[in-house]
Amino acid sequence: METLIYILKSAGVITLFYGVYSTLLKKETLFSANRHFLLLGILGAFLFPLLQFTRTVVKEIPAIESSLWEETLNDSTPSEVTALITQTSFSWFTFDYVLMTVYVTGFIFFFGRFAFQLIKLLKWLAQYPSERKNGFHIIEVNETIVPFSFFNYIVYNPTMHTASELEMILQHEKVHAQQSHSIDVLVSHILTAVQWFNPLAWLYKKSIEENLEFMADYYTIHKVPSKKAYQLALVKASSATNMPALTNYFYQSFIKKRIIMLNKHHSKKRNALKATFILPLLALFLWSFNVKDVTEWVTIPSEDTSVEPTILKENPKETLLLDSSEITEEIPSEITQGRIAEEEDLAIKNTPISEEYRVKITKNTTDSELQKIKKELQEKFGIDLSYTTIRNDAKEIVSLSMNYSGNGNNGNYQVTDDKGIEDFHFYIDDEGKSGFWSEATEERRIERVEKRRETMEKRLEEMEELREKRMEEMEERREEMEVKRKEMDKLREEMDVKRITIDKRRNEINEKRAKEIIIVSEDLNDIDEIEEIEELDEGGGYVLSRSGRGDNTVAVVSKGKSGMSITKSTTDAQLAKMKEDLAQKNITFSYKNVKRNAQGEITGIKFSLDDHKGSKSTTVVKGDENEPISVIFLRH
């Protein structure tokens, strides 16, 4: 039974942590703080149910019942007690046995599956050779598998990704490895094995895995060239593919959530304080389920109050007999005595209260004295008083709870002090009003009122000083804003003048550019980008329309000037010929770093032009992602 109670308490702790996480922390981007909170929840689920606190509760037994109880105990044989215990606990034993069997069966299944997956993964990693790079064990495979990491092992298929995608994927997996995210995954699987019956444990495991991916994404985007490219890689990688269990891997099904978290503003650090909401919940949990009451049974003499109370010895027989019987304040020996008592009670209730009553209770008040006060209030005023006391080793009252009701009066009083309770009075005045009064409590109340008054006066003075200080700061800020406004107006005027100058210059450049004529001396039919050639009416030139990656550009070919062009199909011989032709015109044309693809098309080139008249330029042209270059027109 204790094992099942431990498991249920453990499930309760997980429920508290998951409730706080899902309502207060899940939408925050403080991924590292969330990781520690979730791991603390698992640790608390295993440790908090083991904590136990004890509380001593003193209960009273009238002397006449104590004697009857002792006689019953003495008359009971061990066999009778054993039979009673067996009869009471057999049904519970059977039910507990069934529950325990079901739980252990489920635990063995899920923990066995976890162990099998772990062994299978370790064997899988051992069959491939690894290369150690910067503290990581890199394994390249030819199988169709998604990239994943397990501790410092990173596995991927290099043929399934482009170079840029592979760089981002490896960076992502390195974050998992560097921060030991595999520990979180393994611990979450152990949690679900122990609490396989708890649906919130499975959701807790999912939250841990999601937070790890959010964390890896967050650190990765600060190390990759393009945040947009990384998001596109996530979308591209969203297709389902087989992969080993118990690993951190790049392809996750919650791509939309990851992209949303990538684009959220980073939460403020003070939002992590939301995690402290778990503290009062844990305190309430421990107070409700981890406090064990230790009962001390005290014999109270029925008439002779001079007799000291006796603490009964605790043993299983006494506990069994006390739990199976009802103990009352008064046991009438004859029916006539009960009738007489009822008539006396009725007479007391109908009698108006006219006398004042006051009794003092201290930490040294004995249980017999409390019983006497209880009896006196019942007989004189028709007031029913009940109380619960807790005493220390010196028999001093360290906790007392009192409740009374009757004759139109009711109330309660509770006081606790490890060193012994303070003195207080219970009173009934001439008008019949009753209650509790303590000199020490009254002094503290007056002291609190005085302290509160002083605090309020001090606060008012501080508020007045703060108001004056803020007024001065606002006046200074207003002056600063006025100065900045004038500076902004001046800057705006300067910007307007510059804008007019820039617009004028742009118009001049556009007019000049419209008059420029670009000459192409190569055979126009050899240029792949040219789609249409129309003869001009004036000048005997041509208009060339070409498409360059979706952008339409126009080049004018006219007589009177000369020029050349470089296309993706220009050969090395043509480049050399172009260099000779230009040299004859006293123009130096040099080129290098000519890169070509598998089809022989130019994908990159660096060239320079110098007419030895003060005009000199160097240009580097590259195609996007190893694509061929567009047409390059050289005008001179």
Instruction: State the pLDDT confidence band at 556, using cuts at 50, 70 and 90.
Output: very low
> In terms of Cα–Cα distance, which of 99, 102, 155, 147 is closest to 125?
155
> What does the pLDDT read at residue 248?
63
Residue 87 clears pLDDT 90, i.e. is over it: no
Instruction: State the pLDDT confidence band at 302, using cuts at 50, 70 and 90.
Output: very low
Q: Among the listed ranges 113-122, 330-339, 463-472, which one has the minimum average pLDDT value?
A: 330-339
* Domain extent listing, the chain: 76-267, 291-438, 524-635
Alpha-carbon distance of 485 to 146, in angstroms, equals: 58
Cβ of 198: how many Cβ atoms within 10 Å? 21
Pick from 349-358, 522-531, 546-555 the range whose average pLDDT is largest. Answer: 349-358
Pick from 188-197, 252-261, 519-528, 583-592 the range whose average pLDDT is largest. Answer: 188-197
> What does the pLDDT read at residue 300?
54
pLDDT one-digit tens code per residue, 442-466:
888 888 888 888 989 998 999 999 9
According to DSSP, the residues that pair with 248 across neighbouring strands are: 149
Q: Judge residue 593's burial from the number of C-beta atoms within 10 Å of its C-beta, 0-12 exposed, 13-18 middle, 19 or more buried.
A: exposed
> What is the average pLDDT score of the chain?
77
pLDDT one-digit tens code per residue, 271-297:
889 999 999 999 998 888 887 776 666
Residue 13 clears pLDDT 90, i.e. is over it: yes
Q: Among the listed ranges 128-132, 142-146, 475-479, which one has the minimum average pLDDT value?
A: 142-146
Q: Among the listed ranges 28-37, 39-48, 232-241, 296-305, which one has the minimum average pLDDT value?
A: 296-305
* 146 vs 549, more confident: 146
481's tokens: 């804003």
Alpha-carbon distance of 299 to 67, in angstroms, equals: 9
CB 609 within 8 A of CB 588: yes
> What does the pLDDT read at residue 123?
92
> What does the pLDDT read at residue 35?
95
Residue 321 clears pLDDT 80, i.e. is over it: no
* 550 vs 177, more confident: 177
CA–CA distance from 96 to each of 2, 92, 111, 118, 463 (Å)? 10, 6, 22, 32, 64
> What does the pLDDT read at residue 113?
95
Instruction: State the pLDDT confidence band at 242, using cuts at 50, 70 and 90.
Output: low
> What does the pLDDT read at residue 301?
52
Q: Judge residue 492's burial from the number of C-beta atoms within 10 Å of its C-beta, 0-12 exposed, 13-18 middle, 19 or more buried.
A: exposed
> What does the pLDDT read at residue 444?
81
CA–CA distance from 624 to each of 250, 628, 629 (Å)? 27, 8, 8
Instruction: State the pLDDT confidence band at 346, using cuts at 50, 70 and 90.
Output: very low
Cβ of 476: how many Cβ atoms within 10 Å? 10
